[in-house]
Amino acid sequence: MSVLAGERDRNIAETYVAKEHMSQYLQKLLANDTSCTECRVLGFELSPEELQTLAYALTENKHMKALSLDHLKIGDDGAKHIAQGICYNQSLTFLSLRWNNIGNEGGVALAEALHYNTTIKHLVLSFNRLGHSAGKAFATAITANNTLESLELKWNQIDDEAGDLLLDALSNNKGSLSTLLLGGNGSSLRNTRKDGIGKNANRSKSMRFLSRRQEGKKTEGTTVSLEQLRRDVVTLQIEEDDSVPAPREIQVGDLVEVTGDVGQPVRKGKVRYLGPTQFAPGTWAGIEFEGPIGKNNGTVDGIQYFSCAPMHGSFLKPDKLVLVE
């Protein structure tokens, strides 16, 4: 059993559970085995029965601290099961559900679970299909939740309106929430960190983080009082230099260009997959080209990441792609 990495900060689960050992591990969870403090499942599909058992185990288990269920095709139904489990769980501090095709129904269920859960500090829901209603539900939840420290909603389908509600909720949160990751959603949503006005404020940062509603109304030369800033400014610490607008991050469905070596033609295709792979570490983009100029059909080493015609697909690092607006 490995030690939790960065337990005080992130509680990321590093103990992998293979598919053939899943049933045995679930039995240990149900039995409240003290050795089951973390679990990471990646890259295979959990059956509805396994998801229901896992959800029930979460209601009973008192030792699990970190749970990562990434790339398992959990969907809305699976997310609802997990939400039901964490409503009653009193030990979990880290939960990751990335790349699981979770939409608004599952997202709303998970958001509502935060009204009851009092232990989760880090929740990761990046690379799903959360939209407007899920974004609104999380905004309502984090306004009242006093335990959550970071919420990752990157690369979903959250629009700017719901994003504004989330940013307002971040600034109004009276608990420990300090990090809200929204990059890859609406055109102007970015990863932000709360910077609380007061003795811990970073005075070197420019206070230009007005909500988009206020930005639309302001005119050149307008002055804003400190009290108005306290009410309307979402005080954030941007992770990168915010002096110039950042280009939009590439998303699944985008048309992109891949520039080859000198003398090679520019290849154009659509992003069909974005996330981790089994063949190499890091984040990879699966591209479907317009012609048979790729290397595969979206499947590598027996694992299907997306589907396209033979020799029309390839995997590339996102920094090698240029977005075609």
Looking at residue 187, what is its pLDDT?
65
Q: How far apart are CA 115 and CA 92, in angstroms?
A: 15
pLDDT of residue 291: 85
> How far is the C-alpha of 302 from the C-alpha of 26, rounded, in Å?
27
Domain spans, the chain:
19-232, 255-323
pLDDT more than 90, % of the chain? 44
In whole angstroms, give the CA distance from residue 99 to residue 274. 9
- What CATH number has the domain spanning 19-232? 3.80.10.10
pLDDT in tens, 144-157: 899 999 999 998 99
Per-residue pLDDT at 242: 41
H or E element that contains 66: strand 66-70
Fill in the DSSP letter of residue 245: P
* Distance between CA atoms of residues 288 and 293, nearest Å: 9
Beta strands 313-316; 303-304: pairing state? unpaired
Look at residue 221 in the predicted model and tell me its pLDDT.
40
Exposure string over 225-243, b if 16+ CB within 10 A, otherwise e? eeeeeeeebbbbbbeeebe
pLDDT value of residue 4: 32
What does the pLDDT look like over 230-282, one tens digit per residue?
Answer: 444 333 333 333 443 445 678 888 898 886 554 456 788 999 999 999 998 88
- Low-confidence residues of the chain, pLDDT below 50? 1-11, 196-246, 262-263
CATH topology of domain 255-323: SH3 type barrels. (2.30.30)
Instruction: Note the pLDDT of residue 246.
Output: 46
Q: What is the pTM of this model?
A: 0.61
